[in-house]
Chains A and B, each alone.
Chain A
């Protein structure tokens, strides 16, 4: 394996006035297969390089970053698929805490706003809340979201209205609970979503679907919410 070149966004807001891009090189035969492996090797060269990571297998969503201009998870992005120099930046549109670490407070605030839990005001059942296999199958493609924020931070509508537009990840979760046969708050959820900004800032650009590392389709889920709202009007 030949040497691998990187251009990595660096910024420490407490001590640096402006961000910059630093060049790094891993020597031939470094052995890294995925981008996260390479970043860990680079961190051995320069221990001040900062990024989040945890499970290293595309489950936790911690190492979401902008890789050669496209959001993705470093741990499931193969080096051999990337054009060099590999440019790594933090997720776009979010305040940088340090280097590749961004502040996701706004993202989680929008996630909480859709009340991503089962709402059932009735009596707690003696047994589990049951679903038929068909009802359960309606949640496929919705529940697998790992909240990595790749979709929301690639959405131009979210860049422009991060305070008011919920963003694709939160809307995917909103639809997940609208589709859940056990949830009793469909009407309230739709009332909350029927808003020119919270939902209808989505202009079906579909960057979200394009970047989702789990292969989910938030744009379709948002379309599903719009269809439910339209059906309710009719």
Chain B
């Protein structure tokens, strides 16, 4: 079965929704640690500038962006905006591309 781009957008929306949970959990843990003490703040700072964070950070941004943009697309569809073969294909491609661009920008700007 050859899936259209809309199907990939749907799969990615669900996959990013699942991945979003640990991303939010990790963000909350980092935030709490950074607020606990001066040492915790510096520990979070060094964690966010580690080599692993240069991969995981943009990945987390991709997860959030993919789910957010995909969700906006579905909200627009629920408002009867974006139906039709050509439109649904192009909006699905835009969502996937925009999430990748967001991740790329995050990777480029990551300290």
- B-binding residues in A (CB < 8 A): 66, 68-70, 92, 154, 156, 203-207, 209-212, 215, 217, 219-220, 223-224, 226-227
Contacts and interface: CB of A to CB of B under 8 A. Distances in A.
A71 B59 CA distance: 35
Interface string B74-99: 10011010011100110000000000
A205 B7 contact: yes
B111 to A, nearest CB: 38
B84 A226 contact: no
Interface of B: 1-4, 6-7, 10, 74, 77-78, 80, 83-85, 88-89
A204 B74 contact: yes
Contact of B6 (A66, A69, A207, A220): A207
B80 A217 contact: no
B7 A219 contact: no
Nearest to A66: B1
25 contacts: A66-B1, A70-B2, A92-B1, A154-B1, A203-B10, A204-B10, A204-B74, A204-B77, A206-B4, A206-B6, A206-B88, A209-B83, A209-B88, A210-B88, A210-B89, A211-B4, A215-B85, A217-B84, A217-B85, A219-B77, A219-B83, A219-B88, A223-B78, A224-B80, A227-B80
A210 B1 contact: no
B83 A207 contact: no
B80 A223 contact: yes
Most buried by B among A69, A206, A217, A223: A206
A207 B74 contact: no
Contacts of B84: 209, 217, 220
Nearest to B6: A206
Contact of A223 (B1, B6, B83): B83
Contacts of B2: 68-70
Contacts of B7: 156, 205-207, 210
A16 B3 CA distance: 29
A58 to B, nearest CB: 17
Contacts of A220: 80, 83-84
A92 to B, nearest CB: 6
Nearest to A212: B85
A111 B89 CA distance: 27
Nearest to A68: B2
Nearest to B92: A206
Q: Which 5 A-B pairs have the closest CB atoms?
A: A69-B2, A220-B83, A210-B4, A205-B10, A206-B6
A68 B4 CA distance: 13
A211 to B, nearest CB: 8
Contacts of A207: 3-4, 6-7
Contacts of A205: 6-7, 10
